[in-house]
Amino acid sequence: MDDKLVTIAQYHDQFEAQILKDNLQAEGVKATITGQNIHGLYPFSGMQNVQIQVFQKDLEKAMQILELDNISTDHQEDTN
């Protein structure tokens, strides 16, 4: 299903996620930021709760962009 959202990266804060989102959108890949930035509340918890999601149809292109930018990801499908 092409309209299913897929999580391609997780971050500790909104700022890092916004940079990736901007990079993806500059290359024509629609991206969204989901989750909450709880790192500010619990800075030593190691929790990653800000995710970048793209549509399934854009997954391959998004992963290529991440690879070119040398950005590590924790790719996982959204189960919601």
pLDDT of residue 79: 44
**Pairwise CA distance, residues 59 & 56, whole Å:** 5
Looking at residue 14, its pLDDT comes to 83
Cβ–Cβ under 8 Å, residues 51 and 35: yes
Per the structure, the complete domain to which residue 53 belongs is given by 5-77
pTM to 2 decimal places: 0.72
**pLDDT one digit per residue (tens) for the chain, 80 residues:** 668 999 999 888 788 889 999 999 999 999 999 987 555 666 655 556 889 999 999 999 999 988 887 665 554 444 44
User: How many domains would you assign to the chain?
Assistant: 1
